[in-house]
């Protein structure tokens, strides 16, 4: 059997070489022993948590399985749709919820857009002994939005059936796909079925069939979807196995696509499978095969054309669901680099079925679903199948800083202060520009016992560098912030702490060394001089006597400074058991808000 598999893999690889196909030609690979994969940063990526699950909440954030986010930009607004179950994957009931944002940073409270749906009692599936009794559907969808030719926005979802342990809602035996309009005033139109599975029809379902709608624009939009092979292909997993409207009926998952300049269309599926169509998805040049050089497992890969006429893929470049990374191509076929989007894994607070660790299931904005005014790439993803996030990736994508940093936030143009900073900003750990007594500052908050805020800034790679920054902690008896200088892989050579006892410390091997004390509200001016060749660095605080220290880890050069309101996380790792069936202690807890104001940052290389 192994020999047969090897021969098939070889033939598949030979086919890939012979075909006009997507491939990765870079040399950078992710190291899964580190959450960030030891990948270089893509400059200016902001990761923003839109929804933090909290079982203590009786509203829409109280369900703790949240996954499969979808994005659209319409009517000067971001729309984000995701699945939600009470505890675990494919464990009913299920519903689909919606958030909106004017800017991608400030998100509305989720609202239910497709409610729970009761399966008719007595429903059975061929080959199974279970039957439905007071059972609700679960939801699943690979396409969440459609902007019609008449410029109306519609949300889509799918009701699937799970009748017992190890039953699959995507076996072609579900109820069907639904659709409703999202209106400019924030209200929704009625729900209609767009397409039924074989056992269901207008007589045994709770919502009407779209053809009965008096809204001609909705009917027209439905028929546009049903007549577009590239949209129908996204429904293959849930649809009837013989659905005549789906061109490629094989069980390739999580399809998305983008157009090339010559009119060809690149298709992408899980496992970095890929193919090319020359006729808008009616037929494919070859069976989807793994894109040569790409590393990706059973998680989504997203691809799109960017506003600078290049192309990007965003995915987990490993057999795990971390890190979240990107690759750029000039022609849409040859991808040449691998850069970090998100290298954090929030603590998984609530156990549940099939809740994989990491930032995963990434999905951007489909070609017809709008272009944000900043022309950046926006993607949504889930963290641990629990919390929902978005990331904005600046275009053009850059990974090297060539100019010294000289930033005083109060003197910078509004809205541009953090353009070259990388942010990790959870709901309870917001990292953003704020006004502190009339002065603009980078504020880092932290009231989350399971997460932290993080802000990183690249500077020119240097063996000898002076770094100066000003920071004002708002408390000295709780919270902690850590400042690191790292190399391109994110390996720190030094770490300075403002801890929860009012102490300023620096890491010296196994031990910490005192650099003094600090007071709440006291402004601290740090000046750090690093020489990576000698491994020595000096720290001067408020022009006091410099303290000479030895780097706790050797690096060849440094190129970034990191501010983080918590300890380094190393859980989970590649050997952690896959399924977490337990909740963390006090998972609903919230702490006092620790706040740190960063006023300025300057660097100077020798």
Please state whether beta strands 289-290 and 503-508 pair in parallel, antiparallel, or not at all (unpaired). unpaired
| Cβ atoms of residues 36 and 316 within 8 Å | no
Name the DSSP letter for residue 42: P
Q: Which comes out higher in pLDDT, residue 297 or 16?
A: 297
pLDDT digits (tens, 9 = 90+) for 516-560: 999 999 999 999 999 999 999 999 999 999 999 999 999 999 999
What is d(CA 484, CA 119) in angstroms, rounded to the nearest whole number?
54
Please state whether beta strands 421-425 and 46-51 pair in parallel, antiparallel, or not at all (unpaired). parallel
What is d(CA 266, CA 268) in angstroms, rounded to the nearest whole number?
7
Reported pTM? 0.96
Which residue reads 């009339």 in tokens?
A: 438
pLDDT digits (tens, 9 = 90+) for 315-373: 999 999 999 999 999 999 999 999 999 999 999 999 999 999 999 999 999 999 999 99
Q: Classify the phi-psi angles of 476: left when phi > 0, otherwise alpha if psi is within -120 to 50, otherwise beta.
A: alpha
> Shortest CA distance to 435 belongs to which of 245, 233, 599, 209?
599
Q: What is the pLDDT of residue 17?
A: 47
Largest CA distance in the chain: 83
Residues 6 or more apart in contact with residue 548 via CB below 8 angstroms: 536, 537, 538
Name the DSSP letter for residue 411: G
What is d(CA 71, CA 148) in angstroms, rounded to the nearest whole number?
15
Query: Rounded mean pLDDT of 123-131?
Result: 91
What is d(CA 78, CA 70) in angstroms, rounded to the nearest whole number?
10
Residue 279 predicted with pLDDT over 70: yes
Query: Rounded mean pLDDT of 493-514?
Result: 97
* Beta bridge mates, 181: 154
* DSSP letters for 339-404: EEEE-------S--TT---SEEEEE-B-TTS---TT--EEEEEEETTTEEEEEEE-SS------S-
Name the DSSP letter for residue 181: E
pLDDT digits (tens, 9 = 90+) for 17-41: 456 899 999 999 999 999 999 999 9
What is d(CA 169, CA 158) in angstroms, rounded to the nearest whole number?
10
Q: What is the pLDDT of residue 20?
A: 83
Please state whether beta strands 334-335 and 23-24 pair in parallel, antiparallel, or not at all (unpaired). parallel
Q: What is the pLDDT of residue 19?
A: 62
E strand residue ranges, 87-209: 95-101, 111-114, 138-139, 145-147, 153-160, 176-182, 192-196
Q: What is the pLDDT of residue 2?
A: 42
Q: What are phi and psi of 175, to 5 degrees?
A: -90, -55
Residue 121 predicted with pLDDT over 90: yes
Q: Which domains does the chain have, with CATH numbers?
A: 2-393 (2.120.10.10), 406-605 (2.60.120.200)
pLDDT digits (tens, 9 = 90+) for 45-92: 999 999 999 999 999 999 999 999 999 999 999 999 999 999 999 999
Query: Rounded mean pLDDT of 249-273?
Result: 96
| Cβ atoms of residues 316 and 302 within 8 Å | no
Residue 7 predicted with pLDDT over 80: no
Q: What is the pLDDT of residue 8?
A: 43
SS3 178: strand
Q: What is the pLDDT of residue 6?
A: 45
Q: b vs e for 27-57, b when ≥16 Cβ sit within 10 Å of the residue's Cβ? A: ebebebebbbbbbbbbbbbbbbbbbbbbbee
| Cβ atoms of residues 359 and 323 within 8 Å | yes
Q: What is the pLDDT of residue 578?
A: 87
pLDDT digits (tens, 9 = 90+) for 289-324: 999 999 999 999 999 999 999 999 999 999 999 999
Q: What are phi and psi of 495, to 5 degrees?
A: -145, 125
> Shortest CA distance to 390 belongs to which of 415, 363, 429, 428?
363
Q: What is the pLDDT of residue 129?
A: 87
pLDDT digits (tens, 9 = 90+) for 388-430: 999 999 999 999 999 999 999 999 999 999 999 999 999 999 9
Name the DSSP letter for residue 124: B
Residues 6 or more apart in contact with residue 479 via CB below 8 angstroms: 446, 473, 500, 565, 592, 594, 595, 596
Residues 6 or more apart in contact with residue 151 via CB below 8 angstroms: none
What is d(CA 126, CA 170) in angstroms, rounded to the nearest whole number?
14
pLDDT digits (tens, 9 = 90+) for 208-258: 999 999 999 999 999 999 999 999 999 999 999 999 999 999 989 999 999
Q: Which tokens belong to 217?
A: 């624009």
pLDDT band at 280 (very low <50, low <70, confident <90, very high): very high
pLDDT digits (tens, 9 = 90+) for 130-152: 999 999 999 999 999 999 999 99
Give pairs for 569-578: CB < 8 Å, separation 24+: 569/35, 569/344, 569/345, 569/347, 570/35, 571/345, 571/347, 572/345, 572/357, 573/32, 573/33, 574/32, 574/33, 574/320, 576/357, 578/356
Residue 3 predicted with pLDDT over 50: no
SS3 412: coil
How many CB atoms neighbour CB 204 within 10 A? 11
What is d(CA 75, CA 488) in angstroms, rounded to the nearest whole number?
40
Question: Mean pLDDT in the chain?
Answer: 96
* DSSP letters for 218-268: HHHHHHHHHT-HHHHGGGTTTS-TT-TT-S--S---S-EEEE-TTS-EEEE
Q: Which tokens belong to 62?
A: 């109280």
């Amino acid at each position: 059997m192994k020999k047969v598999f090897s021969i098939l893999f070889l033939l598949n690889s030979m086919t890939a070489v012979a075909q006009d196909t997507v491939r990765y030609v870079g040399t950078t690979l992710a190291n899964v022993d580190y959450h960030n994969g030891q990948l270089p940063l893509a400059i200016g990526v902001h990761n923003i948590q839109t929804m933090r699950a909290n079982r203590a909440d009786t509203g829409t954030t109280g369900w703790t399985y949240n996954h499969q986010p979808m994005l659209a930009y319409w009517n000067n607004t971001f729309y984000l749709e995701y699945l939600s179950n009470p505890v675990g994957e494919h464990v009913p009931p299920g519903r689909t919820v919606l958030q909106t944002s004017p800017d991608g940073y400030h998100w509305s409270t989720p609202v239910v857009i497709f409610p729970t749906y009761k399966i008719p009692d007595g429903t059975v599936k061929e080959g199974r002994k279970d039957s439905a009794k007071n059972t609700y559907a679960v939801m699943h969808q690979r396409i969440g939005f459609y902007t019609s030719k008449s410029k109306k926005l519609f949300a889509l979802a799918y009701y699937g059936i799970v009748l017992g342990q190890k039953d699959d809602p995507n076996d072609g035996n579900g109820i069907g796909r639904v659709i409703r309009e999202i209106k400019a005033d924030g209200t929704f139109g009625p729900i209609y079925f767009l397409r039924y599975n074989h056992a269901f029809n207008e007589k045994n379902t709770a919502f009407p069939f779209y053809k009965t709608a008096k809204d001609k624009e909705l009917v027209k939009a439905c028929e546009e979807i049903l007549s577009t092979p590239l949209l129908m292909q996204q429904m293959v997993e849930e649809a009837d196995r013989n659905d005549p409207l789906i061109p490629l009926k094989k069980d390739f998952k999580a399809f998305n696509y983008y157009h090339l300049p010559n009119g060809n269309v690149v298709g992408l599926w899980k496992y970095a499978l890929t193919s090319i169509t020359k006729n808008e998805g009616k037929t494919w040049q070859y069976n989807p095969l793994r894109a040569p050089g790409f590393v990706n497992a059973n998680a989504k890969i997203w691809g799109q054309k960017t506003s600078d006429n290049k192309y990007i893929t965003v995915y987990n470049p490993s057999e795990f669901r971390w890190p979240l990374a990107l690759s750029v191509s000039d022609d849409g076929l040859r991808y040449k680099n691998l850069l970090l989007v998100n290298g954090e894994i929030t603590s998984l607070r609530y156990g549940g079925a099939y809740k994989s660790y990491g930032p995963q299931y990434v999905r951007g904005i489909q070609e017809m679903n709008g272009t944000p005014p900043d022309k950046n790439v926006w993607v949504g993803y889930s963290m641990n199948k629990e919390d929902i996030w978005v990331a904005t990736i600046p275009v053009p994508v850059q990974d090297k800083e060539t100019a010294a940093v000289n930033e005083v936030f109060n003197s910078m143009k509004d809205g541009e202060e953090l353009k070259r900073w990388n942010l990790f900003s959870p709901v309870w750990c917001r990292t953003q520009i704020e006004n502190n007594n009339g002065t603009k500052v980078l504020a880092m908050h932290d009231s989350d016992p399971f997460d932290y805020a993080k802000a990183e800034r690249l500077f020119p790679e240097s063996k000898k560098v002076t770094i100066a920054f000003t920071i004002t902690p708002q408390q000295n008896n709780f919270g902690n912030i850590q400042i690191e200088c790292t190399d391109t892989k994110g390996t720190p050579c030094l770490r300075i702490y403002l801890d929860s006892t009012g102490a300023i410390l620096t890491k010296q091997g196994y031990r910490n060394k005192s650099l003094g004390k600090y007071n709440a509200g006291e402004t601290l001016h740090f000046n750090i001089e690093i020489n990576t060749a000698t491994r020595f660095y000096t720290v001067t605080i408020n022009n006091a006597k410099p303290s000479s220290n030895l780097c706790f880890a050797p690096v060849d050069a440094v190129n970034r400074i990191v501010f983080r309101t918590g300890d380094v996380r190393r859980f989970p790792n590649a050997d952690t058991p896959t399924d977490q069936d337990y909740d963390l202690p006090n998972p609903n807890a919230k702490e006092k808000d620790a706040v740190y104001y960063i006023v300025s940052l300057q660097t100077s290389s020798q």
